Structure 1
């Protein structure tokens, strides 16, 4: 079971006067991203770059700048910015900036939904019952999630079936940054 996020995608933006019109123009340049391991703030933008034929660190320098990423981009400390479409929209609005000055040159695909995980120690019938109840009461569940501060990203969400293949693009992004071990954690 997973919960969707409307417009949950990564984007790549540049400065309008930079001369950068396509992803291939980023070769040899520096891009700001937010948080290490963030799906929309690192892995999504990395996947966009890899799909365009750019290899992280070999073809483009990536600066992981946390919450300072968009400010560094606005200050022209970097040639481009990669991150969440929602973060881009919020930053543009908060700073009263025009998207024409910081155009998005690539919108990534929708990122996979956030999964709910049940312990493998639980009885399969119990897990199925829990899943069914979550689906039956998804409006109440999503309202409760959205009611928590900083969870407005789930406004308009829905519960969907999680499919392993939906997460392959994220695995590919991890591999592009050198993480190749996807073994399952088995606790004590």
Structure 2
């Protein structure tokens, strides 16, 4: 009996400890199936690099991600720059790493043979923006115009219209410019091959997407995850890029030296559209 107990104890000590489970959400992907399609390969690569059990946790919205963080249902959240400043205000998370998106900037697009030849020609005209609160379709384009001296609601009329509908309105002459990012313009040119479009204003590169750890996640776990991105960044990026939508990160890097102040430009964008506090998501 005694020998059996000793053998059982020896076996227990010899068995590896179960990996600690941490949950990760992505704010712009709804549903577990879509999340797995984009991030399953990354999930496996991050598990290998950290020794942690990474569990993908679907959220239905950015608000749901905040509630999940508050309830400690999720430990890490990948989100965009516009969402970050609100999540920061609401949950005070810790920055882990930024996910760089090359050539991620906002721009103002007009018809090449239309009446607008410069940004100043947009005074008194109508400019459309896409998804409310989007960094590159709403906040960023509005800030591009603000940086060039045009005040929303004073120098031009702003309207929120979905991108393809807005371009159709642009072609008809109902609006004079559309705000969008570089990849959007590529799709628009493919969708409207008989039309020529011109960029009359381009903004600075937008702040990066960012991986956050909710308040309360242990320093040891945060350090393991951050070190994985520092030491195995190429492998992790290769895994990320296996997701179709994640091709937006192609050519980018993971950046570990990131400060909250890097997102003050996004706070300026909110102020440009008339939002002075950051306790709610625009459009909710």
TM-score by length of 1: 0.88
Partner residue, 2:153: 57
Task: Label 1:155 to 1:54 Cα distance change in 2 as closer, same or farther (>3 A).
Answer: same
Give 1:23 shift.
Answer: 1.3
Matched, 1:42 2:118: no
State the alpha-carbon separation in 1 of the partners of residues 168 and 231 from structure 2. 43
Corresponding position of 1:156: 251
Question: Shift of the alpha carbon at 1:183?
Answer: 5.0
Are residue 146 (structure 1) and residue 237 (structure 2) matched? Answer: no
**4+ runs of 1 displaced by more than 3 Å?**
none
In 1, Cα distance between equivalents of 2:206 and 2:194: 26
Structure 1: gaps spanning 5 or more residues: none
- Secondary structure of the corresponding residue to residue 117 of structure 1: strand
Aligned residues: 183
Structure 2 gap ranges (5+): 1-96
Give 2:169's aligned residue: 72
SS in 2 for 1:62: strand
Aligned with 1:168: secondary structure? helix
Task: Work out the CA distance in 2 between the residues paired with 1:21 and 1:162.
Answer: 38
Alpha-carbon distance change, 38 to 129 in structure 1, aligned in 2, over 3 angstroms: same
| Structure showing greater relative contact order (alpha-carbon pairs closer than 8 Å, 6 or more residues apart) | 1
1:168 aligns with 2:255: no
In the superposition, the TM-score normalised over structure 2's length comes to 0.60
Identify which of 113, 118, 138 aligns with 1:17. Answer: 113
Q: Secondary structure at the match of 1:107?
A: strand
Q: Is the 8 A contact 1:49 1:55 kept in 2?
A: yes
Give the match's secondary structure for 1:104. Answer: strand
In the TM superposition, what whole-angstrom CA distance separates every residue of 1:15-47 from its partner, at most 9, and x where no partner exists? 223332221211110112110000000111011
| C-alpha contact (below 8 Å) 1:50/1:56 kept by paired residues | yes
Q: Which has the larger radius of gyration?
A: 2
